[in-house]
């Protein structure tokens, strides 16, 4: 399955940092604290996010994740925000949560997507940050659509992030949890910013790393503790990402570096666009960051010193290097999707299963009734029994058995049911067979051309195949068809 980037990739919107750094003291709701940090009420954040609507989820893992990030718009000052809502069991001690949030909230730097507020009511724990309009580094580096990231921009990303870490260290916040390409966001000018959310754990006793163990600092595996040196190790993995355009395990990269095969690390899109000296210097810096012994790694200040001379095209604005529109001030309109459409857009296979089972066979009831008088033949009866056995297996989540039974029903050739194709499609998706799933979704559409579910399942299959652009278009088709059906 090809690499892909979910449409719900974490992306934050404009901040108006300069004009809104300090709020006027006459704001009626919410306690204003020094440095422009503010405590919001749950009702304010509920209103800003349209009741924490699933349409406003922008985090990588969707609403099933332990901690979900929503976009929202504050009503009183009409600006976009990102709201991180923690799991109910996180941060049981409200005082500890407030202390941490307030400490992070005092940081203000143009290299950060700054924390501007929090909410602590009952069991609810929420953080409020500036919103960035131009997606994540992961999207631009691994899943680019228009152009690969230029060498000059990659160097700029590395330097700006090193400057962010140096600033945080100077303010006594050297620990950053799970530093990775999803934590780097691009503002309205196309400049990279480090998400402030990583300066706090997901919970007081939560894990600090959610990435694959192959990318985790060795000392964290031994002790379970994050140190400033651990953050530098993770910065080294990020340098590898920037060099290669891929997420390469450090051990593999270090083997290539030791074998003096560093050119094999380089992104093929960069061929001819960088000097060997610059490439060698960045590789050398990455290998220093990835030293097994934490004490042998450079500190954040050393990273800035090493990267500053490498910077190129310093007069060219980031948005031009990135090839993105400048000054986006409001989010793109999102499609209005039903719960099934939403689940397919997020590839939430569990939710899709629940909905398909609940809907049943209403869509092709007429076919079943029309055929009921033919049940006098043994062949028809056996075909219906195959469907019943398939439905029972589908309900019991025995998806391999469901595939077998539904296949017998379809191969029988005496009846055609779009719902059977839809259900087998989902079974294929769960079994990691997206190509077969796409075939079934297309068959369901051929049988029932006005059925939005067929389009939504095609979109889910296309997302699984890494064909995001086609998937988005198919989602739009399903949504338009649904609106048309409801209008009749």
186-203: per-residue pLDDT in tens? 999 999 999 999 998 776
Mean pLDDT of the chain: 83
Residue 2 pLDDT exceeds 70: no
Provide the pLDDT for residue 16. Answer: 31
Residue with tokens 């999803």: 182
C-alpha angle 451/456/457, rounded to 5°? 100
H or E segment and range at residue 82: strand 80-85
Is residue 162 within 8 A of residue 304, CB to CB? The reply is: yes
At 381-395, the pLDDT tens digits run 777 889 999 999 999
Give the mean pLDDT of 101-108. Answer: 94
How does residue 327 score in pLDDT terms, banded at 50, 70 and 90? low
Task: Tell whether the model's pLDDT for residue 8 goes beyond 50.
Answer: no
> Which of the two residues, 367 and 44, has the higher pLDDT score?
44
CA distance 223 to 209: 13
Q: Are 269 and 148 in contact (CB under 8 A)?
A: yes
Active site residues: 178
* Residue with tokens 């993770």, as numbered in its chain: 234
Mean pLDDT on 173-187: 91
Whether 149 shows a pLDDT value over 70: the answer reads yes
Give start and end residues of each alpha helix (H) in 187-260. Answer: 218-223, 228-244, 250-258
Q: What percentage of the chain reaches a pLDDT higher than 90? A: 51
Tokens for 61?
């893992």
Rounded-to-integer distance, Cα 391 and Cα 357, Å: 9
- The CATH number that domain 147-182+204-322 falls under is 1.10.510.10
Q: What pLDDT was estimated at residue 362?
A: 59
- For 9, phi and psi rounded to 5 degrees? -45, 140
CB 86 within 8 A of CB 27: no
DSSP-derived letter for residue 271 is: T
Q: Which two tokens stand for residue 91?
A: 């941060």
Q: Inform me whether the pLDDT recorded for 363 exceeds 60.
A: no
pLDDT exceeds cutoff 90 at 20? no
Mean pLDDT on 242-251: 90
Does the pLDDT value for residue 369 go beyond 50? no
Report pLDDT for 438: 94
Pairing of β 80-85 and β 68-73: antiparallel
For position 375, what pLDDT does the model report? 46
The reported pLDDT for the residue numbered 5 is 35
- 215 band by pLDDT with thresholds 50, 70 and 90: confident
Two domains, one topology: 147-182+204-322 and 339-487: no
**Cβ 193 vs Cβ 267: under 8 Å:** no
Instruction: Please tell me the predicted confidence (pLDDT) of residue 177.
Output: 87
Average pLDDT score over residue span 303-323:
94
With a CB cutoff of 8 Å and minimum separation 6, the contacts of 373 are none
Asked if pLDDT for residue 248 goes beyond 90, the answer is no
Give residue 207's pLDDT: 65
> pLDDT category, 376, cuts 50, 70, 90?
very low
Among 1-15, 204-218, 339-353, top mean pLDDT goes to 339-353
For residue 3, CA distances in Å to 142, 245, 250, 427, 463 come to 8, 12, 19, 21, 10
8 Å CB contact between 445 and 451: yes
pLDDT at 24 over 90: no
Residue 414 has pLDDT above 50, yes or no: yes
DSSP SS3 for 183: helix
Cβ-contact 70, 57 below 8 angstroms:
yes
User: Which positions ≥6 away from 270 have C-beta within 8 Å?
Assistant: 148, 151, 245
65: its two tokens: 């994740």
Locate the domains of the chain by residue range: 147-182+204-322, 339-487
Residue 152: the pLDDT is 96
pLDDT of residue 154: 97
Buried b (16+ CB within 10 A) or exposed e, 160-196: bbbbbbbbbbeeebbbbbbbbbbbbbbbbbbbbbbbb
- b/e string for 274-312 if b means 16 or more Cβ within 10 A? beeeebeebbebbbbbbbeebeebbbbebbbebbeebeb
Hey, is 276 helix, strand or coil?
Answer: helix
More confident residue, 372 or 467: 467
Tell me the average pLDDT across 76-91. Answer: 87
How confident is the model over 204-225, as a mean pLDDT? 77
- What was the pLDDT predicted at 99? 93
Residue 278 confidence (pLDDT) = 92
Domain 339-487 architecture:
Alpha Horseshoe (1.25)
Nearest to 99, CA basis, from 33, 36, 44: 33
Comparing 112-121, 323-332, 345-354, 436-445, the range with the smallest average pLDDT is 323-332
């Amino acid at each position: 399955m090809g690499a892909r980037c979910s449409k719900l990739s974490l992306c934050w919107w404009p901040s108006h940092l300069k004009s809104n750094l300090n709020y006027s003291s006459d704001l009626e709701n919410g306690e204003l604290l020094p440095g422009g940090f503010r405590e919001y009420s749950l009702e304010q954040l509920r209103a800003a996010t349209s009741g924490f609507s699933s349409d406003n989820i922008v985090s990588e893992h969707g609403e099933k994740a332990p901690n979900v990030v929503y976009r929202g718009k504050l009503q009183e000052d009409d600006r976009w925000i990102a709201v991180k809502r923690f799991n109910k069991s996180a941060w049981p001690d409200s005082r500890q949560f407030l202390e941490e949030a307030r400490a992070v909230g005092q940081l203000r730097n143009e290299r950060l997507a700054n924390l501007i507020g929090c909410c602590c009511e009952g069991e609810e724990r929420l953080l409020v940050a500036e919103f960035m309009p131009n997606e994540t580094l992961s999207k631009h580096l691994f899943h680019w659509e228009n152009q690969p990231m230029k060498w000059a921009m990659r160097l700029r990303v590395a330097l700006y992030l090193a400057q962010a870490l140096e600033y945080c260290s100077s303010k006594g916040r050297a620990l950053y949890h799970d530093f990775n390409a999803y934590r780097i966001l691009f503002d309205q000018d196309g400049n990279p910013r480090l998400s402030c959310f990583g300066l706090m754990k997901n919970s007081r006793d939560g894990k600090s790393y959610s990435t694959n163990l192959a990318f985790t600092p060795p000392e964290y595996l031994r002790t379970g503790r994050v140190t400033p040196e651990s953050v530098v190790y993770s910065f080294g993995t990020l340098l590898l990402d920037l060099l290669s355009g891929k997420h390469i395990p450090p051990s593999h990269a270090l083997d290539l570096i030791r074998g003096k095969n560093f050119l094999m690390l380089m992104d093929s899109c960069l061929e001819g666009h960088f000097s060997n000296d610059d490439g060698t210097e960045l590789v050398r810096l990455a290998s220093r960051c990835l030293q097994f012994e934490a004490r042998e790694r450079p500190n954040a200040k050393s990273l800035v010193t090493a990267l500053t001379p490498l910077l190129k095209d310093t007069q060219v604005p980031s948005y031009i290097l990135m090839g993105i529109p400048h000054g986006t001030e409001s989010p793109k309109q999102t499609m209005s999707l039903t719960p099934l459409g939403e689940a397919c857009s997020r590839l939430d296979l569990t939710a899709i299963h629940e909905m398909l089972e609940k809907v049943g066979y209403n869509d092709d009831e007429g076919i079943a009734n029309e055929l009921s008088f033919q049940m006098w033949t043994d062949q028809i009866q056996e075909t219906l029994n195959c469907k019943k056995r398939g439905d029972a297996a589908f309900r019991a989540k025995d998806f391999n058995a469901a595939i077998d039974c539904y296949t017998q029903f379809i191969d029988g050739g005496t009846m055609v049911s779009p719902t059977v194709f839809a259900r087998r499609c989902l079974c294929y998706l769960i079994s990691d067979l997206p190509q077969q799933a796409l075939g079934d979704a297309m068959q369901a559409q051929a049988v029932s051309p006005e059925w939005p579910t067929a389009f939504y399942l095609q979109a889910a299959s296309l997302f699984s195949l890494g064909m995001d652009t086609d998937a988005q278009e198919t989602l739009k088709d399903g949504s338009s068809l649904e609106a048309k059906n409801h209008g009749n």
